[in-house]
Amino acid sequence: MSEARFIVAPESKPAFTRYSRLHEDVVRQRKVILAPERAYELDPIGLAVLGHVDGVASVAEISQRLAQTYSAPVDVIQTDVVKLLQGLADKRLLRDGPDAFSPPPLSQTAKSYAPFERGPAGLLAELTHRCPLQCPYCSNPLDLERANTELTSGEWGDVFRQAASIGALQLHLSGGEPTIRRDLEEILAHAVDAGLYTNLVTSAVLLTRERLAHLAEIGLDHVQVSVQDVVPESSDHISGYEGGVAKKRDVARWARELGLGLTINAPIHRQNIDHLPQIIDFAVEVGAQRLEVAHIQYYAWAEVNRAALIPTREKFLATVGIVEEAKKRLQGVLNFDFVIHDHYASRPKACTGGWGRSIMVVTPSGKALPCHAAQTLPGLSFDNVRQRPLGDIWRNGAAFEAFRGEEWMQEPCRSCDKREIDYGGCRCQALAVTGDAAATDPACHRSAHHEEFAALGQNESLLPAPAFVYRRLGGADRKEKALDEQPA
Ligand code: SF4
Ligand code: FES
């Protein structure tokens, strides 16, 4: 079901896809396009053009109308309109002709929220830590939370309404495996009512077509299917679960048949790195709009399994070339998010978009975290949404304040001109490698630990890979048992 690039021409009749839309961002007093994992801010010209995009008016007609409104030459206007629309079409947010799918229901409550400055743009809701898969790089903590501590659907609804009221636009329904929750439909209905853009982050293995169709009917916008590999034996080995690839292919196909946005998320490491070209083909074949090629971040379970996961520098560099080539070849068909490998980087990533700046994570039992690995940082205390309002936690919570802004920075970050770009990198990685959470991320070439960090990656990647310690309740201290229980 691979899909062709939409080339915008004067006779095209552009329309938003089922999974993208114009949205009033009340809190920040602006209009945005809500799209998978993104909110695109619009200038007045963009807004004027998109106000005419309905799947009925052609680009030529839209240009005529705008030329009249602004008393400008139609050919100049049309060139600009095509350019703007082509950019959105290449992000797979527009289609030619009216959309075959009904848009998700509009929230009755979202518009009434009181503005609150600088809230999080996104909320990652870990609905449960239960999961049928056992990926050895899972970002959940080693100490997984138990089912009997999980927030109820009503409590999640309250969290979503509070999140929307302080400015959250995107909601990631994640886990563990969120579809293990029997009340996922109720949880989703709360999210839709709060006016959030909903993304279901799933391994896909538990979903039926009927259930996915029901979720789409309630108003789900987007599905992110995680892929361990597309070579079945390798996928089974990495996930500790048999038969996942066929199931993922089915769910991806159903998502597209239902008009949902689709991202394939592929964590990349030494045990699947050679299959990257096939993973790209898989994403094209199932009609995904986005592919995340994400080199592993080494904390939580991935840190325990680092020696089994870390690729060589040469193999990492090869993935850069493969993705660059595929980006050009698949323009307008598949968009890429490429997360580089920190050990082989010279600059760090702006982890989580900067601590306490952009996202908030809520664990199954209601702990509010600035990033999903934040519990690895000693000395931080985390507020619970059962006890404190979300906006207050975001604004004043000790964990959110700990590494916000620049006050906490040491040299070289403190005086570096990149500090407002990468915010000093990842706090969790800084702690894991240097023992100091306020240190410069060792992925940075200016860190005193950078060379040692890069060498560690390369040295470890050249040794034989040890067996995986699979993710499971009870933590990684059950290593002996985990190794014994591995598939041959
Ligand atoms: Fe970023 Fe700090 Fe490195 Fe500068 S020194 S590039 S702020 S991590
Ligand atoms: Fe916690 Fe990067 S994972 S700040």
Question: Tens of pLDDT along 281-292?
Answer: 999 999 999 999
Taking the C-alpha atoms of residue 76 and residue 61, their distance in angstroms, rounded to an integer, is 14
CA angle 257, 135, 131 (to 5 degrees): 65
Query: How high is the pLDDT of residue 483?
Result: 38
| Cα 483 to chain centroid, rounded | 31
| Cα 80 to chain centroid, rounded | 31
Q: Could you tell me the distance, in angstroms and rounded to a whole number, from the CA of residue 84 to the centre of ligand 2?
A: 35
- pLDDT, average across residues 43-56: 92
CA angle 407, 449, 424 (to 5 degrees): 30
- pLDDT, average across residues 367-382: 93
- pLDDT, average across residues 110-126: 76
Query: How high is the pLDDT of residue 479?
Result: 46
> Which residue minimizes the CA distance to atom 2 of ligand 2?
426
- pLDDT, average across residues 158-173: 95
User: Which residue has 């994403």 as its token pair?
Assistant: 283
- pLDDT, average across residues 402-409: 92
Question: Tens of pLDDT along 306-339?
Answer: 999 999 999 999 999 999 999 999 999 999 999 9
In this structure, the residues whose C-beta lies within 6 A of any atom of ligand 1 are: 347-348, 412-413, 416, 418-419, 422, 424-425, 440-441, 444, 446
Query: How high is the pLDDT of residue 25?
Result: 87
Query: How high is the pLDDT of residue 49?
Result: 95
Atom number in ligand 1 closest to CA 413: 2
Query: How high is the pLDDT of residue 115?
Result: 56
Query: How high is the pLDDT of residue 108?
Result: 62
Q: How confident is the model at residue 58 (pLDDT cuts 50, 70, 90)?
A: very high
User: Which residue has 């006890």 as its token pair?
Assistant: 387
Query: How high is the pLDDT of residue 334?
Result: 96
pLDDT surpassing 90 at residue 300? no
Query: How high is the pLDDT of residue 106?
Result: 62
Q: Are 344 and 317 in contact (CB under 8 A)?
A: yes
Neighbours of 28 (CB within 10 A): 18
Query: How high is the pLDDT of residue 117?
Result: 62
User: Which residue has 């789900």 as its token pair?
Assistant: 220
Query: How high is the pLDDT of residue 97?
Result: 86
Q: Enter the pTM of the model.
A: 0.92
Query: How high is the pLDDT of residue 105?
Result: 62
- pLDDT, average across residues 37-50: 92
Long-range contacts of 51-57 (CB under 8 A, 24+ apart): 53/14, 53/15, 53/16, 53/85, 53/94, 54/15, 54/98, 55/13, 55/14, 55/15, 55/95, 55/97, 55/98, 55/99, 56/13, 56/98, 57/13
Q: Could you tell me the distance, in angstroms and rounded to a whole number, from the CA of residue 423 to the centre of ligand 1?
A: 7
Q: Could you tell me the distance, in angstroms and rounded to a whole number, from the CA of residue 200 to the centre of ligand 2?
A: 22
**H or E segment and range at residue 40:** strand 38-41
Q: Which of 92-101, 106-115, 438-447 is most confident? A: 438-447
